[in-house]
Amino acid sequence: MSTAIESLREQTRGEVLTADDAGYDEARAVYNAMHDRHPLGVVRCMDAADVIAAVGFGRENGLDLAVRGGGHSVPGFGTSDGGLVIDLSPMRNVQVDPAGSVARVGGGAVLGDLDHATHAFGLATTGGVISTTGVSGLTLGGGIGYLARRHGLSCDNLLSADVVTADGRLLTASERQNEDLFWALRGGGGNFGVVTSLEFQLHPVGEIVGGPIFFELDAAADVMRAYRDYIAKAPEELGAFFCFQIAPPLPFIPEDRHGDTLCALVTCWTGPPAEADTVLEPLRSAGPIVAEHVGPMPYPALNSAFDGLLPAGLQHYWKADFVKELTDDAIDAHFEHGPKVPCVQSTMHMYPINGAVHRVGSDETAFAYRDVDFACVIAGMWPDPADTEANTQWVREYYAAIHPHSGTDGGYVNFMGSDDEDRVAANYGGNYERLAKIKAIYDPDNLFHLNQNIQPAK
Ligand SMILES: Cc1cc2nc3c(=O)[nH]c(=O)nc-3n(C[C@H](O)[C@H](O)[C@H](O)COP(=O)(O)OP(=O)(O)OC[C@H]3O[C@@H](n4cnc5c(N)ncnc54)[C@H](O)[C@@H]3O)c2cc1C
């Protein structure tokens, strides 16, 4: 194999790192420290030509191919034992066309790269709530963030993507070219090839008014109910998610409350700043406030506000559900388990699925769950491996309590953990069969299988 690796090195501009090379340990590491794997090689792709060479090498040598953008996959899909990692992290360039309100984004860019480049022009598009998450991985699964109620999911803002397919071709997918592939990329995950660049619709979003409001834990059920009722009809310029959160030692939280378990609403208002207080009032009055840090700030500041809490190298164990209707019984179950959150990084987030996300039909893109009210994730995230049992147990028991109330079988593919393989078909909902047919066209041998895997239709 070493001769073959040499031939791959000759074909690529980016480095190919194996166990004999300095930097291998850094190159093989992914965000979730639970996946301490040893791939045969990591190809740090500089361009689409490198990706084509790596895909061809993996295919011809029968290697497991792991495609890595930002490396945030909780099940550790961005690495493998003995396989080949196609690492796109050198491809982070973002080009903005301010006149056309469009950004072209490299396949390895993270959300912070996209926010930074677009904010200079007072523009943005929907992304997640942590700036180190990969744009590609997030968008291919859907992409839920503060702007989704107003502007749709990240995948709803995708205009085109360049994709290296299993046979080594570079295809452009859009509404006009390879339409079936374009449909599948918007929610079908990394199943269809390696995305080398993405083109996004941008929107005028510059300064926002937002930040977290922390409430007394005793009021959590009332706060959740008020959030549920208000976010269904609030102006779409408001993004907000509910969470259970141990108070971190931040200056705006009274020192004697640091370490207390609280609940919080994290808000983002992109409408006229003068209207922010009126719009936020129904949330602020949902319960007794312990602390808040809501104010005007650049959109990228909110999108990176929690990065410090969640550095690379924590252990992650997550479970997720789409929620058809957040019933009072479900809220009781949340109120029983949320307050037991074991550490400051672990949390439960409840994101709204409504507004612009509902205006796209369930079969218009591969993201099927357009008719639910929320996406819920119980995210165990902890620094010390000695706490693995406590955190995984909390996630499992919490999930077991709320799942019967969710009204759906599936969860958001990007929030799925490592041991939910039996839920994959349900996670793609009514679109699974069509996805399997498209998989059979573009990846009939399932070369790209380290993902929320869709089996090619027979
Ligand atoms: C701390 C944290 C916060 C998060 N917050 C949010 C959030 O606010 N909203 C949200 O929607 N999701 C969120 N997520 C989930 C996130 O969307 C997924 O973990 C996503 O898969 C991450 O993409 P990545 O590129 O960073 O991951 P990677 O591990 O690099 O890749 C994950 C998957 O995406 C595929 N993939 C990645 N890049 C490419 C590419 N260029 N071409 C083809 N396939 C590719 C891979 O096949 C792999 O299956 C969060 C995750 C974490 C860990």
Q: Whose CA is nearest to atom 44 of ligand 1?
A: 190
> How confident is residue 1, by pLDDT bands cut at 50, 70 and 90?
confident
User: What residues are paired with 97 via a beta bridge?
Assistant: 102
What is the pLDDT at residue 4?
Answer: 85
Q: Whose CA is nearest to atom 43 of ligand 1?
A: 194
- In degrees and rounded to multiples of 5, residue 444 shows phi and psi of -60, -25
Residue at 262: amino acid letter: L
Rounded mean pLDDT of 434-451?
A: 98
Which is it for the CA torsion 129, 108, 450, 201, positive or negative?
Answer: positive
Mean pLDDT, rounded, of the chain? 97
Structure tokens at 209: 């008014």
What is the pLDDT at residue 91?
Answer: 98
Atom of ligand 1 nearest to the CA of 451: 49
Atom of ligand 1 nearest to the CA of 452: 49
How far, in Å, is the centroid of ligand 1 from the Cα of 133?
A: 6
Rounded mean pLDDT of 307-330?
A: 97
Atom of ligand 1 nearest to the CA of 412: 11
CA distance 366 to 303: 26
Ligand 1 — pocket residues by CB below 6 A?
31, 67-74, 77-78, 88, 107, 128-130, 133-134, 136-138, 140-145, 189-190, 194-195, 310, 414, 451
Residue 420 has pLDDT above 80, yes or no: yes
pLDDT tens figures, 137-168:
999 999 999 999 999 999 999 999 999 999 99
Q: Whose CA is nearest to atom 51 of ligand 1?
A: 72
CA distance 71 to 39: 14
Contacts of 112 (CB under 8 A, 6+ apart): 131, 132, 300, 303, 304, 307
Pocket test for ligand 1, best of 50, 51, 114, 138 (most atoms within 8 A of CB): 138
pLDDT tens figures, 188-247:
999 999 999 999 999 999 999 999 999 999 999 999 999 999 999 999 999 999 999 999
What is the pLDDT at residue 48?
Answer: 98
Q: Percentage of the chain surpassing pLDDT 70?
A: 100
How far, in Å, is the centroid of ligand 1 from the Cα of 73?
A: 5
CA distance 148 to 125: 9
Q: Cα–Cα distances in Å, from 10 out to 42, 43, 52?
A: 15, 12, 13
How far, in Å, is the centroid of ligand 1 from the Cα of 412?
A: 12
Q: Whose CA is nearest to atom 17 of ligand 1?
A: 138
What is the pLDDT at residue 313?
Answer: 97
